Amino acid sequence: MELRCLLLNIVFISVVNAMLAFGTTSQDDRRCSYGRIEKLTRIRCHKMDLKEVPQNLKTSVEVLDLSFNRIKKLKSGSFQRYSDIKFLMLYENMILSVEPGTFAPLTSLQEIDLSSNGLTSIPVELFSMPRLRNLYVDSNELKGLHQELQTLEKPIRAPLEYLNVANCELDDIPDLGTLPNLWQLNASMNPLKEFSIDKLANLCHLSVIDLTRTQISTCDCHQVTNHLMTMGANPKYVPVCMGAIDSDVCPLPYNRTVDSSTFSSCLASAELAETRSFWLFAAGCCGGVALVLLVFCYCVYRWRKKRTNRRLSQSIENRKRFVISPRNAINNRLEDQPLHCDTASA
């Protein structure tokens, strides 16, 4: 009986150890999945309980998904090996701090999602990324953003087109200077108690602004609505303006943003950027045509040179050769006598 119990215990312990070993192995063997999306190399490492950016991934990754992990800090060398990243997803982590220089290697970065983390400010270096178009920092308590932006050099270098700062405890929309390419701004679920309509003058191509679930005043509500309608945009996501307008509190005209010098400067910078882009495109086309012509001329030159060499070779082969005459081999020939030459028969 005791032997039977002992055997059962051994079997039970073996089964439990096997189950634990299987569970541990399955968790340790989890790997990031590789794939392609829109012809871009994509690596997904989401929901893997990662505490830092993995350094054993393929360096040519262009779309990197690190969402739903436990990363608390981004270090200056986190993305040093992945300079080709164009789209970076870091939402739903525990990121509290970002070391200076963390995003410096990502010169091709076009979109980054840092939403739902523990940030108190937006990493300032993101505003210097030359190709960054979409920036998501919603659901962070950006209490230190206003102070950080005071030292920010404006206008920023990043050509932002979409900015999401929803649910970030902001009293006003961020002041990033002139943003001629920005067409959509999501500032919903913020208090916005100090909202300033004048900042919209920096957004001369704004088409959509989401101010739902905010606490903007009736005057600001009317001014934003009027601003968007003047620009031909849709005020769909602006709260319904309730209450009458007091001209002493909310003086006319409402469209002081569109008529301001700031708005004109924004348009001018947009036109300048478009003109520069056109001339760069034209210069690239001209350079390409010039390169093609250069290659064509070189090919023609090489072809003519080969043809000339071929003709010269043929003429040499067709020329009658001269051979040394056997008469020169006579032993008693005087040294001052000229050599005899025979013409080779054709």
CATH code for the domain of 143: 3.80.10.10
Residue 134 lies in a domain: yes
In degrees and rounded to multiples of 5, residue 94 shows phi and psi of: -125, 35
Residue 296 lies in a domain: no
Q: Domain of residue 106: give its range.
A: 30-272
Residue 340 lies in a domain: no
**E strand or H helix at 82, and its extent?**
none
- pLDDT at position 281 is 66
Q: Give the count of domains, the chain.
A: 1
**Tens-binned pLDDT, residue by residue, of the chain (346 aa):** 455 554 555 555 554 454 444 443 333 347 899 999 999 999 999 999 999 999 999 999 999 999 999 999 999 999 999 999 999 999 999 999 999 999 999 999 999 999 999 999 999 999 999 999 999 999 999 988 998 998 899 999 999 999 999 999 999 999 999 999 999 999 999 999 999 888 999 999 999 999 999 999 888 888 898 889 888 888 889 988 877 777 777 765 667 788 889 999 998 887 766 666 556 566 667 777 778 888 888 888 888 878 877 777 777 666 655 555 565 555 555 555 555 555 555 4
Cβ-based neighbours of 257, under 8 Å, separated by 6 or more: 197, 198, 200, 201, 223, 227, 263
Residue 103 lies in a domain: yes
Residue 148 lies in a domain: yes
Cβ-based neighbours of 45, under 8 Å, separated by 6 or more: 32, 54, 57, 64, 65, 66, 69
Residue 97 lies in a domain: yes
Q: What is the pTM of this model?
A: 0.73
CA-based nearest residue to 158, from 106, 210, 96: 106
Residue 285 lies in a domain: no
**Angle subtended at Cα 273 by Cα 85 and Cα 161, rounded to the nearest 5 degrees:** 45
**Angle subtended at Cα 292 by Cα 287 and Cα 296, rounded to the nearest 5 degrees:** 145
> Which 3 state secondary structure label does DSSP give 263?
helix
What's 45's DSSP letter? -
Residue 50 lies in a domain: yes
Distance of CA 79 to the CA centre of its chain: 13
